[in-house]
């Protein structure tokens, strides 16, 4: 898949702008603060129905304006699609081929964008919430069924937490525990199924990036005892054991919303023992696997976006990543320094020049 054109109105620092893109993608050049990340953000908005930087559309509206509007043409499995998104201070509308979508999650059926962020090292070194966020997004792009499970689970989790603030009956709690455990089990099984495909590829990609100098592995970490892998029964039993704790804290203390993924490098915790360069390499390898699994499932290549994430790597690792990706995806790279990325051979968009042209025509 690829994006061929983009129109932006009142989005971030863009008042009124148009782009045409080559199938290869582009190097997006310019000084810091000129709007490179904002351009990536506007493209990826069509894949997720929201910004990757904020959950509030209000923050995306150009200063002093009442709304933003973005339009784009995408080619998905050789078919042309027209996407529109607009938001004012009270609502937003997203259309595909001039038809409103009923739910934001419908976008996951169409567009696949993998965004390589400078903050991706938090997936390795940060709290479990970063790893859960990564795995939830990756599987949602891979399996639309997973989105429905997540939505249902969050609803049940909210209601189960509210239950602990009431004088509930044993029968009432058991009913919520059963729903909670069943949907939680569905989520965990899909996570394990995804990781079974994800982990061997992660090992492979990381070995290629590191030059076969290090070995990587990943394991699922449960928030409850699950030695015999009977997820539903073990979760139900654990909820019974910790009822007093949950009642005291008025929240659910076990389940997939608290699970984690342990990542190891040469059998040591990557979170605790890897260098910054290793963390960056692991995070990039994880995104590459995310893209590869989308390609295998959909028989179409996702759009890749790099927000200057290769700058921290040594020359050897950078060259290996470039070689792995060259010519396989539409790639957008935002950077103030073209030196690290010239080997990609991508067309260049100089934002200072392009924004200057727009000013001249006003």
Using one digit for the tens of pLDDT, what is the confidence trace for 103-160? 999 999 999 999 999 899 999 999 999 999 999 999 999 998 999 999 999 999 999 9
User: Which CATH number does the domain housing residue 63 bear?
Assistant: 3.40.50.300
Indicate the range of 197-206, 312-321, 329-338 predicted with least confidence.
Answer: 312-321
- Of residues 189 and 321, more confidently modeled: 189
Q: Which of 27-31, 112-116, 354-358 has the lowest mean pLDDT?
A: 354-358
Query: Tokens at residue 29, please?
Result: 């050049």
Three-state secondary structure call for residue 236: helix
Is the same domain home to 198 and 294? yes
Same domain (yes/no): 159, 244: yes
Q: Which of 299, 321, 354 is the last residue of a domain?
A: 299
Number of domains in the chain: 2
Task: Tell me the C-alpha distance between 179 and 186, whole Å.
Answer: 11
Q: Which of 299, 323, 349 is the last residue of a domain?
A: 299
Cα–Cα dist 164/178, whole Å: 16
Angle between the N-to-C axes of helices 231-241 and 170-210, in degrees from 0 to 180, rounded to the nearest 10: 120
d(CA 303, CA 22): 12
| Nearest alpha carbon to residue 276 among 306, 314, 305 | 314
For 309-360, the DSSP string reads: TTTTS-HHHHHHHHHHHTTTS-EEEEES-GGGTGGG---EEEHHHHHHHHHH
Q: How many CB atoms lie within 10 A of CB 167?
A: 5
216 shares a domain with 77: no
**pLDDT tens per residue, range 37-86:** 999 999 999 999 999 888 888 899 998 899 999 999 999 999 999 999 99
Domain encompassing residue 175: 120-299
The Cα 113–Cα 332 span in angstroms is 11
Are 220 and 192 a contacting pair, CB within 8 Å?
yes
CA distance readout (Å), 278 to 121, 123, 268, 306: 9, 12, 12, 17
Kindly report the backbone phi and psi dihedral angles of residue 72, in degrees, each rounded to the nearest multiple of 5, phi listed first: -155, 150
pLDDT band at 21 (very low <50, low <70, confident <90, very high): very high
- Do 187 and 288 lie in one domain? The reply is yes
The model carries a pTM of 0.92
Contacts with 317 (C-beta within 8 Å, 6 or more apart), sequence order: 209, 210, 211, 277, 281
Q: What is the mean pLDDT of residues 235-255?
A: 97
Q: Are residues 137 and 262 in the same domain?
A: yes
DSSP symbol at 301: P
Q: How confident is the model at residue 359 (pLDDT cuts 50, 70, 90)?
A: very low
Instruction: Report the percent of the chain where pLDDT is more than 90.
Output: 73
CATH code, 207: 1.20.1050.90
Domain C-terminal end among 299, 327, 348? 299
């Amino acid at each position: 898949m690829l994006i061929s054109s983009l129109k932006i109105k009142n989005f971030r620092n863009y008042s009124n702008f148009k782009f045409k893109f080559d199938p290869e993608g582009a190097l997006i050049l310019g000084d810091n603060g000129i709007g490179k990340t904002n351009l990536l953000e506007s493209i990826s908005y069509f894949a997720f129905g929201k910004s990757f930087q904020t959950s509030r559309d209000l923050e995306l509206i150009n200063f002093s304006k009442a709304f933003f509007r973005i339009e784009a043409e995408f080619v998905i499995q050789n078919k042309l699609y027209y996407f529109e998104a607009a938001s004012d201070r009270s609502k937003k509308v997203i259309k595909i081929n001039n038809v409103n979508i009923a739910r934001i999650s419908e976008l996951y059926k169409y567009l696949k964008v993998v965004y390589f962020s400078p903050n991706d090292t938090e997936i390795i070194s940060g709290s479990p919430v970063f790893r859960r966020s990564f795995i939830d997004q990756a599987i949602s792009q891979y399996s639309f069924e997973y989105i429905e499970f997540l939505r249902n689970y969050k609803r049940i989790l909210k209601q189960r937490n509210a239950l602990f603030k009431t004088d509930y009956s044993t029968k009432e709690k058991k009913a919520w525990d059963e729903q909670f455990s069943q949907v939680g089990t569905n989520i965990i099984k899909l996570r394990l199924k995804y990781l079974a495909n994800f982990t061997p590829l992660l090992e492979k990609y990381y070995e290629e990036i590191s030059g076969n100098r290090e070995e990587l592995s990943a394991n699922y970490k449960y928030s409850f005892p699950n030695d015999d892998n009977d997820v539903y029964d073990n979760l139900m039993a654990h909820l019974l054991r910790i009822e007093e704790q949950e009642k005291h804290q008025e929240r659910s203390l076990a389940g997939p919303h608290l699970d984690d993924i342990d990542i190891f490098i040469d059998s040591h915790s990557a979170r605790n023992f890897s260098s910054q360069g290793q963390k960056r390499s692991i995070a990039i390898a994880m995104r590459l696997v995310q893209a590869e699994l989308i390609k295998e499932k959909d028989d179409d290549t996702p759009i890749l976006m790099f927000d200057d994430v290769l700058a921290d790597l040594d020359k050897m690792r950078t060259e290996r990543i470039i070689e792995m990706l060259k010519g396989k995806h539409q790639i957008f790279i935002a950077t103030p320094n073209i030196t690290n990325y010239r080997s990609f051979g991508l067309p260049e968009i100089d934002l200072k020049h392009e924004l200057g042209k727009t000013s001249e025509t006003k």
